Amino acid sequence: MRRLEHFPSKLRALVSRRWIGELNYGAARGEFEVAASIETLLNERKGASTVASSCRNRKTMSKTTEKITKTDQEWRAELSPTAYNVLREKGTERPFSNDTKNAAPGVYKCTGCGQELFTSDAKFDSGTGWPSFSQPISADAVEEETDTKFFMKRTEILCSRCDGHLGHVFPDGPAPTGLRYCMNGVALKFEPKETK
């Protein structure tokens, strides 16, 4: 394993208290652990460019999804400060702060607009501290966009109805898709399946 000083200075600059959650929050305690986390991110970055698109690109989105547009003031009035930061400002909540542990069957909807995004059948425990899913409820439910923040190239996942930032998708998920939709828990609300 490489020592921390062997990484580019711009990448080392990311390793601060503020962004340690992006690397491996809670596990990265010392220099070697941080270096291992950076290597993991670099490997994910390489794989992220090869992620097969299982959802629609913004340019080829289904015409059936009716967009919701609101003013910044309306979004602020409707969302909690944390939900606003994640959904509208593309923030990231702290890991393990909002991971819903629902074992019941149901649907995860967008906190911003209520669109159905994921089913509980596609949810799995990735150990990352954020809710993870193997696939969206449908190809039209989410859109993807290239995210190049923090000197990385990742695939950002957005709600196709309100353009709310949900999280990112990575190529290290379980079969059959091999994908991990790593979502912010505050961006999702769980609705249990009605029992008859």
Q: Which residues are catalytic?
A: 182
- Please report where in the chains the tokens 């711009």 appear, as a residue: 10
Q: What gap in Å lies between CA 81 and CA 187, rounded to an integer? A: 12
Q: How many CB atoms lie within 10 A of CB 181?
A: 29
Q: What gap in Å lies between CA 21 and CA 134, rounded to an integer? A: 22
The end-to-end CA distance of the chain, in Å, is 55
Structure tokens at 180: 């991990």
Q: Are 158 and 143 in contact (CB under 8 A)?
A: yes
